[in-house]
Amino acid sequence: FQMDTTQESYLDLFPLDAIVYLTPDSENVLEDIDPNKVYVLGGLVDESIHKKLTLQRAQEQSLQTARLPIREYMVKTVNTKNYHSETLAINQVFDVLSTYYETRSWPAALKAGVSSGKGYVVPD
């Protein structure tokens, strides 16, 4: 993958209607990857999880939002901590998206990118 870095904001680099801000709090499910869209991964990195903070930021910037289809393709597992989280690290989101782009399979992509520690698994 080729990557460029810049100090400029994605808001200055791309048209607003082309940007999709990925947030686990979105009501919109990412069903497919549109090559004409720009996806914001980890637009807000924080040591603690603040519910709906990324959604709020996207809404303040008038951006489209989407979430990965974890609920649609995965099931909660029984675990001792009763822990289930749809919040992923940037590298996990990247792994999910790149695997989906290659395979066009959400189950395969989610299996590759969502660790079992999140409390979700792809059913057999």
46 is catalytic: yes
Q: What is the 3-state secondary structure (H, E, C) of the chain?
A: CCCCCCCCCHHHHCCHHHEEEECCCCCCECCCCCCCCEEECCCCCCCCCCCCHHHHHHHHCCCEEEECCHHHHCEECCCCCCCCCCCCCHHHHHHHHHHHHHHCCHHHHHHHHCCHHHCEECCC
Q: Which of 4, 12, 46, 124 is catalytic?
A: 46
Can you tell me the distance from the alpha carbon of 10 to that of 12, in angstroms, rounded to the nearest whole number? 5
Residues that are catalytic: 46
